[in-house]
Amino acid sequence: MLRRYRIVIALIALIVIVPIAVVVFVCLFDWNNAKVWVETRASTSLGRDVAIGGDLDATWRWRRNVAGKDTWSPGFRFTAGTVQIGNPEWAKRKHFAELGSLDMDLRLLPLLWHRLDIPAIRLVKPALDLELRKDDTNNWTFAPAEGSGASTWTVALGEIEFDDGSVHVSDAARDLDVEAEITRLEAPIPFGQRVEGDDPSTRREVIRRVGREAAQRLRKAADERASHGQAKETDPYEFAFKAKGTMHREAVKGSGRFGGVLALQDPKPFPVRADISVGATEIALTGTITDPTSPDAIDMRLWISGPNLEKLYPIAGIALPNSPPYATVGRLTGHFHPRRSQLRYEDFTARVGGSDMTGTLTYRSGDGRPTLKGDVDSTLLQFKDLGALIGAAPPGEQPVGDEGSPQPALGSGDARFAGRAERGRGEGDVDERDSGPEGVHGPGAGGAVGHEVGGEERERQCADHRAGVGSPGSRHAVKNTTVALHSRCRRGAVGCRPS
């Protein structure tokens, strides 16, 4: 019996004394003596050069701040001053990150199971370089050095906290090069709230052009989602940014604000507000990155205006046609990626030239040809504005053929739209005699627009367009018309390659 008690006491002592001894050793040890070892292990684990120019220290904490709340969470805090993390050899700049210091919380017990449980990492005074190549390889994906054995450890990262700093972004696919300066706000700003100093010009101009009913439609849809419990609590804005650079040799300027913490283990919407100009294209947005573990997952309210829809391709990676000046407002949700996008633009209102449209569009890419589908209503639809969507050259431009196209070949895709127009107006080589059960079309039109005649709706496919929608001369007007389009991009058009 006495021996059994001794064993129990020894086990209790082992369970209590060993962790205490580990904590005391870690906190009292001068980690600067192990700096070379830490640099080597970090470099091996990341597959990059890591250098620590400042002090390396460790402290024990019983509690820590989680989402602004003091929380019981015993563990170590490691602090490394003046940290540099190298870039891969192909990158333009030498360092991926230069930090004034890197603060990292680390739980003790998971280390016994080769698990790095990191509740939070704080990037203090960061200078980051984010680079994306045309083949989709990037410099923010890390892989352990071969033969390092680092894969025997697993890493669980909870939160990434930001600080004042700078970010350089280079995207070869979009020919984008931008520098952004980040500063902490004097006080957090609730999500969606406007404050003095915000630039409302883009939002006001879009609403002026599309009508106040557009804003009311979006607000009503948001209220309905909230009433059904679909709206999620969103953290406040904590940082502001200003950015400038170039995209396809056009000037880029932007400003806005965003949240302070990226929650990865328990993802919460990350708030973003921005006003951006790319050349003559103006974009304003308010919304969230819905899942920080997948940064391309978005839920944004957009206000966009510009001289030509075609110019959105380098910005969004979505091939759109030449068009007259336009303005649109709506809600964009889904996953946004240059080559694998699934997006839904809903409750939108737009004015393209003299035409107005409302409805919902869906876009999908990544599985063969990209597709754009829509359910669109209009009170005034002018086919000179819509013609480019089905392959016609906009007024004043030369017809586009297979060879010598004035537009670059950037992609390929299909478009399908259905909707209702109260009034439609077309100009070109069509007249009343050309309309019939096959729809509105004419010789040399290069495509067709189907509309409901006698209760029957037909669709015609438009492909390989070599000319515009006829020549000026005759007019055709339809009222209370359902318009259905199924369009395959013409060869040589923006967003098209010969299939």
- Residue 178 is predicted with a pLDDT of 97
Closest CA to 59 of 84, 93, 23, 21: 23
Range(s) of the domain holding residue 127? 24-172
pLDDT under 70: residue ranges of the chain: 1-3, 5, 14-16, 18-19, 22, 24-25, 65-69, 146-153, 228-232, 292-295, 337-339, 386-499
> What is the structure's pLDDT at 341?
77
pLDDT in tens, 114-150: 787 888 899 999 999 999 998 889 998 888 776 655 5
pLDDT of residue 461: 31
In a domain? residue 116: yes
Could you tell me if residue 144 is inside a domain?
Answer: yes
pLDDT of residue 150: 54
Whether 74 is in a domain gets the answer yes
**Checking DSSP bridges between strand 261-263 and strand 250-258, what pairing results, if any?**
unpaired
SS3 at position 12: helix
In a domain, 499, yes or no: no
C-alpha 252/C-alpha 173 separation (Å) is 16
Any domain includes 149: yes
What's the structural domain count of the chain?
A: 1
Residue 71 lies in a domain: yes
- Bridge-based pairing state of the strands 237-247 and 176-189: antiparallel
pTM of the predicted structure, to 2 decimals: 0.75
156: in domain: yes
247 falls within a domain: no
User: Could you tell me whether strands 461-462 and 474-488 are parallel, antiparallel, or unpaired per DSSP bridges?
Assistant: parallel
**Residue 436 pLDDT:** 32
